[in-house]
Structures are given as structure tokens and as C-alpha cells.
Amino acid sequence: MRKICTKCGIEKEINFENFNRLSKSKDGFRPNCKECHKSQGIIYNKINAKERAFKEKQRRLADPIKQKEKQKRNYWRHKEKSLKYNAEWRKKNWFHCKLESKVKQANKKAKYYGVDGIINRDIVYRVLMSEGFCCHYCKQKMLFGNMTIDHDMPMSRGGDNKESNLLPACTHCNSSKKSKTKNEYLKYLEMIKTSRLNMGFP
């Protein structure tokens, strides 16, 4: 038995190779052939891609715990693939990752000391940008490797983890500042400078 596809008009043998099943129809097969049905599906998917992506996102956001579990499961199921994908993603979004690491570090410390304030990537970026990616203390341009976020009043002394308490600082200045406040550290730098001059160093 043969029939004409309603879409492309080509006469084809009625079998599973040429037509999909449709139990409602007279002969039990779709009126259009398999190829036409497939291409129709591709076009439909293309048109609705945006809408489907949006719905998918909504579904993900609706149950973050379940989503996280699913992600974990998939990670272990395709571990090698995931590792490769993650490495590539990090390489592509390296600045995002740099900011994220600062965020995590500061928020973890704030939790440890029990002080107020949770920062995010936007805040970190604003703080670093505020002085044109220069260190607040030595005024030198910072490289991506040695950018840090300094707390004016250190969190170990009860300073909060809010934007108003944050300053951009290079690794060197931040580590030699230790638990001093901004003013204490500037005074300390001044003291070192004068003592060096007194000793005859330039």
C-alpha cells in the first residue's frame, strides 16, 4: 500500500520507515511522511527555543535544591566530561571566577567572625574599579593576580563586610597591613618612611 504525503506530495510505501504511527487515523499512520514531520519539528523547536529556554529556567529556579542534586548526579555520572567543561568555562569566564573567589573569601571570613554584610561580584567589581584598579595604599596599578579586597576596619576587630568598609589593595599592602585599620596603616607607612630617611636611606 502506498499513500501521498500531505506535505511534500511524494507517494511513499506505507510502513514504519516512511511514516510515523498515529493511532487515531484510518490507516494508523500520520498523513505526512517521517522526513516532513521531522523537519517540521526542527522548525517548531527553532521558533520556540527562546520560550522553552525561559520555561526551563523557571523550572530550575522553582526548586534549587532538587536542581543542585541533579547537577551533582550528572557531575559524577559524566565526571571527565564535566571536568573538561568546567575547565573550559573557567578559562572563558576567568574574570567572573576571580571576582567570585574574592566574594567567597570575604563572605566566609565574615561568617567566621560573625560580622554583618554579604558582598557579591558587583560590589567587588565596584570597589576594584573605584580607584581605577590601583592599590589604595601604594597607588600602583594592580595585576589580576595580586588584587585583593581590603577591609578598612578589619573583620577580626569587628569591622563589617559592607561596601563602605572595603578598599582595593594589592597583595603586598594587604598582607603587611595585617589587622591595622586604614589610618593606622598609613601612619605606620609614614613612620617607616621617616625612619628610613633618618637612617640615611633615600
Q: Answer yes or no: are the C-beta atoms of 156 and 109 closer than 8 Å.
A: no
155 binds Zn ion (CB under 5 A): no
124 binds Zn ion (CB under 5 A): no
Question: 99 or 135: whose CB is closer to Zn ion?
Answer: 135
Restricted to residues 71-100, the positions that interact with Zn ion (CB under 5 A) are none
36 binds Zn ion (CB under 5 A): yes
Q: How buried is residue 119: exposed, middle or buried, by Cβ count under 10 Å (0-12/13-18/19+)?
A: buried
If you ran DSSP here, which 8-state letter would residue 181 be given? Answer: -
**Residue 133, Ramachandran bin (φ over 0: left; ψ between -120 and 50: alpha; else beta):** left
8 binds Zn ion (CB under 5 A): yes
Selected range binding Zn ion among 32-40, 86-94, 95-103, 155-163, rule: CB under 5 A: 32-40
Shortest CB 82 distance to Zn ion, Å:
38
Q: Answer yes or no: are the C-beta atoms of 40 and 32 closer than 8 Å.
A: yes
Q: Which residues bind Zn ion (CB under 5 A)?
A: 5, 7-8, 33, 36, 135, 137-138, 170, 173
